[in-house]
């Protein structure tokens, strides 16, 4: 009896899931996944390199962008081992503590990304609504402080997640819904009371992602009000054009996140394929699209990248 009771509380090995119904062609699906990881890692590293080596890009807007790129690299590296393990090697098992570690990093980097998107919205608000005080408000110490605050908040808020899961017993099915470890997904496998986990998870979402989203919306309402007060139409378009990349990034981050949260809340009414699709959108959309959007839309970054590659091409000749 003692052995049975121990086995109920001992963390099990969990099974990750690829794409339901497409197990036979997962090796081929791994090819575009590898391409997306390559774009995410290489693209964000190029942005970091360009900003670091170009002195005229050492401005608040681009420093925040470098923070976003760093977070995207961290998020991609957090999921890379299990995603490729499932799709490329067809190896689905993951040790429980490794799963909790991955879950912690995924949620921490996601929280950091949300905070950095809020900081970028504040940057656009100050630049458009109070341009004369831009350099006085967004000083280097304040920017560094905002970056540290985003990191500390992410770590502090996410540390309880694995701790709360470790106190549960896992005697149900051990098959996860995704190819990586996600807190609501792991929590559903527990056979003990999960009320504390649910309350903390909901509070965490509301106090971090929810608060960030509300302040981002408020920032853009104030920005829009200021833009509409600009007399010339060209001035309005020029002001809004500086926000397009950030607005797109906010949408591709929050929309999959909200849909994924709703799916886990009302999961009995949705298909497993929708689970996997939204989970992968949440996983790949921002790290892959952010470097592409900012490289194509931001003239300063685009011109520097062009000069770098043009110079390398001339050296090869």
In which band, very low, low, confident or very high, does the pLDDT at 250 lie, cut at 50, 70 and 90?
very high
How many independent structural domains does the chain possess?
1
The CATH number linked to 241 is 1.20.1070.10
Phi-psi region of 48 (alpha: psi -120 to 50; beta: other; left: phi over 0): alpha
Whether residue 4 is contained in a domain is answered as no
> Residue 179: is its pLDDT beyond 80?
yes
DSSP 14: E
* Spatial distance between the Cα atoms of 57 and 49, rounded to a whole number of angstroms: 11
Q: What pLDDT does 304 receive?
A: 78
Tokens at 8, concatenated: 């109920």
Whether residue 317 is contained in a domain is answered as no
Q: DSSP readout, 75-106?
A: HHHHHHHHHHHHHTT---EE-HHHHHHHHHHH
Whether residue 33 is contained in a domain is answered as yes
Closest CA to 58 of 310, 306, 301: 301
Kindly calculate the radius of gyration of the chain based on its CA atoms and give it in whole angstroms. 22
- Containing structural domain, residue 172: 13-302
* Spatial distance between the Cα atoms of 63 and 242, rounded to a whole number of angstroms: 15
Phi-psi region of 168 (alpha: psi -120 to 50; beta: other; left: phi over 0): beta
Closest CA to 114 of 258, 3, 307, 240: 258
Q: Which of 13-22, 145-154, 274-283 has the highest mean pLDDT?
A: 145-154
Strand-pair category, 14-15 with 93-94: antiparallel
Whether residue 258 is contained in a domain is answered as yes
Its pTM stands at: 0.89
Whether residue 1 is contained in a domain is answered as no
Whether residue 312 is contained in a domain is answered as no
In which band, very low, low, confident or very high, does the pLDDT at 7 lie, cut at 50, 70 and 90?
very low
- C-alpha 49: how far from its chain's center? 20
**Angle at CA of residue 66, ends 138 and 161, nearest 5°:** 95
In which band, very low, low, confident or very high, does the pLDDT at 317 lie, cut at 50, 70 and 90?
low
In which band, very low, low, confident or very high, does the pLDDT at 174 lie, cut at 50, 70 and 90?
confident
* Residue 261 or 114, more confident: 114
Whether residue 172 is contained in a domain is answered as yes
Q: What percent of the chain is helix, strand and coil (3-state, nearest 5)? A: 80, 0, 20
Whether residue 137 is contained in a domain is answered as yes
């Amino acid at each position: 009896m003692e052995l049975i009771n121990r086995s109920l509380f001992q963390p099990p090995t969990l099974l990750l899931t690829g794409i339901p119904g497409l197990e036979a062609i997962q090796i081929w699906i791994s090819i575009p996944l590898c391409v997306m990881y390559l774009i995410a890692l290489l693209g964000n590293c190029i942005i970091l390199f360009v900003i670091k080596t170009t002195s005229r890009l050492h401005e608040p807007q681009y420093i925040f962008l470098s923070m976003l790129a760093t977070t995207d690299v961290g998020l991609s590296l957090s999921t890379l081992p299990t995603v490729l393990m499932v799709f490329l090697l067809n190896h689905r098992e993951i040790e429980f503590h490794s799963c909790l570690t991955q879950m912690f990093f995924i949620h921490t980097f996601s929280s950091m990304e949300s905070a950095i998107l809020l900081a970028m919205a504040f940057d656009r608000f100050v630049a458009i609504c109070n341009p004369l005080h831009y350099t006085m408000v967004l000083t280097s110490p304040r920017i560094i402080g905002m970056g540290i605050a985003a990191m500390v908040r992410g770590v502090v808020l996410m540390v309880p997640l694995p701790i709360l899961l470790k106190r549960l017993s896992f005697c149900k099915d051990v098959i996860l819904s995704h190819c990586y470890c996600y807190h609501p997904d792991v929590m559903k496998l527990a056979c003990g009371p999960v009320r504390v986990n649910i309350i903390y998870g909901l509070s965490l979402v509301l106090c971090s992602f929810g608060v960030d989203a509300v302040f981002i919306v408020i920032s853009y309402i104030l920005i829009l009000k200021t833009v509409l007060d600009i007399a010339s139409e060209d001035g309005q378009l020029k002001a809004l054009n500086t926000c397009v990349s950030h607005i797109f990034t906010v949408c591709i981050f929050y929309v999959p996140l909200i849909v994924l949260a709703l799916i886990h809340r009302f999961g009995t009414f949705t298909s497993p394929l929708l689970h996997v699709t939204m989970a992968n959108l949440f996983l790949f959309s921002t790290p892959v699209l952010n470097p592409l959007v900012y490289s194509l839309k931001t003239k300063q970054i685009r011109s520097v990248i062009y000069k770098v590659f043009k110079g390398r091409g001339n050296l090869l000749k």
